[in-house]
Amino acid sequence: MDSTVYGLIKRGEAGLKKAGVRNPFNESSGLMKYVLGKTFEELIISYEDKIAGRKISLFEKLIARRIKKEPFAYIVKKKEFYSLDFLVGRPVLIPRPDTECLVDSALQEIKRLYGISKKKIYVLDLGTGSGAIAISIAKNSDNVIIYAADNSIRSLNIVKKNIIANGVRKKVIPVHLDIFRLNNAGGVSSFNGKHRDFNFSDLDNFDIIISNPPYIETGELEELDDDIKFYEPNKALDGGADGLLFYRKIFDAAALKTAKVKTLILEIDYRKKCDIRSLFYEKFDNKDIKFKEITFINDLNNKERAVKITYG
């Protein structure tokens, strides 16, 4: 058996290709890179090196996991997003490039709002997952404080590690918050263990509310690729019977009487653009809201990937 770096990569490639994994050579190389703790440049230089038995065993185990369609990012425990590295695991969705348009839009809005007020801009990231959106915003703006909110303590443990790793402890605050338990009675606890009430009126303290909510119709979950369907958290994908469950709740929370102009930025399924627009007019038809505007933001594939709502 060829026990060189290149030989093992090729063997891994063959197994991944047979399993229908896209870009099998790149993924096999990436797993070898992870096992050896090398950069890709160092990996190429070491192609002819022999690998020790225990590392061969580890590499083969990782290849086997990928053949079973476990996502590459979960295996190597890392995913790049907005040119930053994020720890990821089974409790959180894997960040995807299409979501970067939310960060772009938020940074533009923060710049605009700071230019007007010259004060820190407060952002609430609902359903923060790994914290990729919140942390990416914080890394690219000095004028922001972000509450990274999630209803999962396991997710928030990952968020906290990503906050520390990316050096944004002073700008990103992890918060335990379940939007479906959010009401006028409060009852939401902060992540640091000190209880504090968080209710609908608190939303008025934020200049921007941003979210990548679950938006896949329940009936479509079975149609997802195996690496998503069997490994990524269902609760972060399931948007209810029509995929709009979370938008209704977020719109209900946002469309209350507000003392200032605010911005809502949400990722959407481009197929739901018309439904989102109709829901917007339904929920924001409020006599206390004198100004409201809705625009859609395209992703890298030129499809409507986000909606931006300004209201007040």
The per-residue pLDDT string of the chain (312 residues; one tens digit each, 9 = 90 and over) reads 778 999 999 999 999 999 999 999 999 999 999 999 999 999 999 999 999 889 999 999 999 999 999 999 999 999 999 999 999 999 999 999 999 999 999 999 999 999 999 999 999 999 999 999 999 999 999 999 999 999 899 999 999 999 999 999 999 999 888 888 765 444 444 444 443 456 666 777 899 999 999 999 999 999 999 999 999 999 999 999 999 999 999 998 888 766 677 899 999 999 999 999 999 999 888 878 888 899 999 988 889 999 999 988
Entry pTM: 0.92
Cβ(300)–Cβ(97) below 8 Å: yes
d(CA 179, CA 202): 12
Q: Candidates 3.40.50.150, 2.40.110.20, 3.40.109.10, 3.40.50.261; correct CATH number of 97-311? A: 3.40.50.150
Query: Domain segments of the chain: what residues?
Result: 5-68, 97-311
Cβ(113)–Cβ(69) below 8 Å: no
Helical (H) or strand (E) element with 31 = helix 24-36
Question: Of 225, 204, 275, nearest to 246 (Cα)?
Answer: 275
Please classify residue 288 by burial: count the beta carbons closer than 10 Å to its beta carbon, then call 0-12 exposed, 13-18 middle and 19+ buried.
exposed
- β-partners of residue 50 are 4
